[in-house]
Structure 1
């Protein structure tokens, strides 16, 4: 019986692999997120076929669903953060980070008339954050400890909230500052009612780290990296072309909003989102980048602890830089 189950499992795995034609990259897309913008540009302009690959997209409900799909071999590639790919490997999912997707971006935002001018002014204040383990928040905590000798997690009040709620609480005076995702920062500051106190790249400089630090990466199954590296490289090339189209073609952004890939209550804010997006595009992927990522995670763990960050350290073997050099 046990032998029969082993044979059946082997046959299933072979069938699953056979279902993916050579040159096909099965991409897992979480229901929300900027990856949908890139995939829309690739599909609209046939950028995958221009680089000898065919992209097949599966929409996934959550990060956990992406993990399950990767583990089952149902998708080949997803976007995750640099901590997430380490966790996947430790949980036995055979994946590698193959290319940067997005830099660490965003800013600490306050109402335009706020007296808050620097991190030093955050003591005793109420701060809205995406989550208590959000990487931008952890970077801010590390910078505050390094430069001003206090941890805002301990000497201020951090409230996890969705960006629309952050804005509502700022307007009602129930938050003093907020650190939403980068595109919401662009929307808030473009109204003129809010201003940025400090950006994530400035915080990274405070920690003696490069400001252009990738926080999101393309995560691919090792089987595809090893057997069809040209397919992964082809997808990366298509993605880079999509970045160029998004930088140059305003009609793409109109389509993104029209098709519900990004909800924007005021379309006049779209140029601000587009401009902010361009600053998130990575420009380097090398062994030096991987070393800097390891140093960054070490700084975050020193402040917040491994339990909050998610890992004690970055495993350099999780990353491969063999599939090309960034732009």
Structure 2
């Protein structure tokens, strides 16, 4: 009997070691860490027959280098970059992670109700002149008012943390920042001047879009389809748990480094709003419309050699998750 137990024990060890390992590179300070912590803590990787290794990286450039050198299998980046790389014969592909988007925030006390009210004012923009939210605001301004936003305001380009501080102390009249910084600012009383949904509808886009997603080598994924899809299923299981369980949010609260309940709730709600429950051909068509707008506004500096949105930029995955 003892011999049988020993054999079973070693067989279990062999089965564990036989599980495929997947290395995901993420920014050490990024919000993606919340979801990956949930994934690991709840063993969603092992339940989907793989082992997740989280590799912490220092910057977006470091993520791209690690991915292209083969040091990691998956990173989180945007599909515009993926599409650009495909135009340069790099066989990368993408599956959406979140639809959470940045927008422009203002202080309600400043009596700013439209973009035209920003004339001559200083507006912060994270990510530089090729920031995609900034470019879409410019396209919206042209459509709505027949004026380029950059000719109405004084844009101030800076990093997201610096803009957060400047908007917190009213050093700027308005600002476009990433969603999690905006969530913290909304907890302090700032309000969206225009929501991204409003801009999308004005530009003829009625389906959800996502800029940020899991990115991996398509050839690798085709050879390891079960592994990649298992990871995506584990990611969705983590999202569903965060969507449904306040207890899980309480568990990861220390990771979020929030100082008060209002900010905690704002970040939690912002994450939930970004969850993508469905992504199909209609969404891809919406992404293609966005690409054409970005091509017109950002040109080759943004999209590189790509002239259209390639179908294979997006990984074909049909989840069976019930929300």
Equivalent residue, structure 1, for 2:232: 236
Equivalent residue, structure 2, for 1:36: 33
Contact 2:98-2:210 within 8 A present in 1 as well? yes
Cα distance change of structure 1 residues 266 and 309 upon mapping to structure 2, 3 Å threshold: farther
2:283 is the counterpart of 1:289: yes
Pairs within 5 Å for 1:133-148 = 133-148=130-145
Equivalent residue, structure 2, for 1:70: 67
Mean Cα deviation higher: 116-125 or 312-321 = 312-321
- Structure 1: gaps spanning 5 or more residues: 1-19
SS at match of 1:214: coil
Cα distance change of structure 1 residues 326 and 109 upon mapping to structure 2, 3 Å threshold: farther
Deviations 1:145-177 (A, max 9, x none): 111111112321111223443344335543111
> How many pairs does the alignment contain?
304
2:107 is the counterpart of 1:111: yes
Contact 1:78-1:220 within 8 A present in 2 as well? yes
Equivalent residue, structure 2, for 1:199: 195
Deviation (angstroms), 1:45? 0.3
Pairs within 5 Å for 1:1-327 = 23-97=20-94, 99-131=95-127, 132-170=129-167, 172-192=169-189, 194-210=190-206, 212-258=208-254, 261-308=255-302, 312-325=306-319
Q: How high is the TM-score relative to the length of structure 2?
A: 0.85
Cα distance change of structure 1 residues 55 and 95 upon mapping to structure 2, 3 Å threshold: same
RMSD after superposition: 2.3
Mean Cα deviation higher: 164-173 or 29-38 = 164-173
Cα distance change of structure 1 residues 104 and 268 upon mapping to structure 2, 3 Å threshold: closer
CA distance in 1, matches of 2:32, 2:313: 20
SS at match of 1:113: helix
Cα distance change of structure 1 residues 23 and 210 upon mapping to structure 2, 3 Å threshold: farther
Contact 1:83-1:314 within 8 A present in 2 as well? no
Deviation (angstroms), 1:311? 5.9
Cα distance change of structure 1 residues 63 and 72 upon mapping to structure 2, 3 Å threshold: same
Mean Cα deviation higher: 307-316 or 68-77 = 307-316
Contact 1:213-1:293 within 8 A present in 2 as well? yes
Deviation (angstroms), 1:54? 1.6
Runs of 4+ in 1 over 6 A off after TM superposition: none
- Structure 2: gaps spanning 5 or more residues: 1-16
SS at match of 2:151: helix
Mean Cα deviation higher: 32-41 or 164-173 = 164-173
Q: How high is the TM-score relative to the length of structure 1?
A: 0.84
Contact 1:26-1:57 within 8 A present in 2 as well? yes
Deviation (angstroms), 1:66? 2.2
Deviations 1:220-252 (A, max 9, x none): 122331111011111111100100111223343
Deviations 1:167-203 (A, max 9, x none): 44335543111112112222222233x2221111211
CA distance in 2, matches of 1:86, 1:115: 40
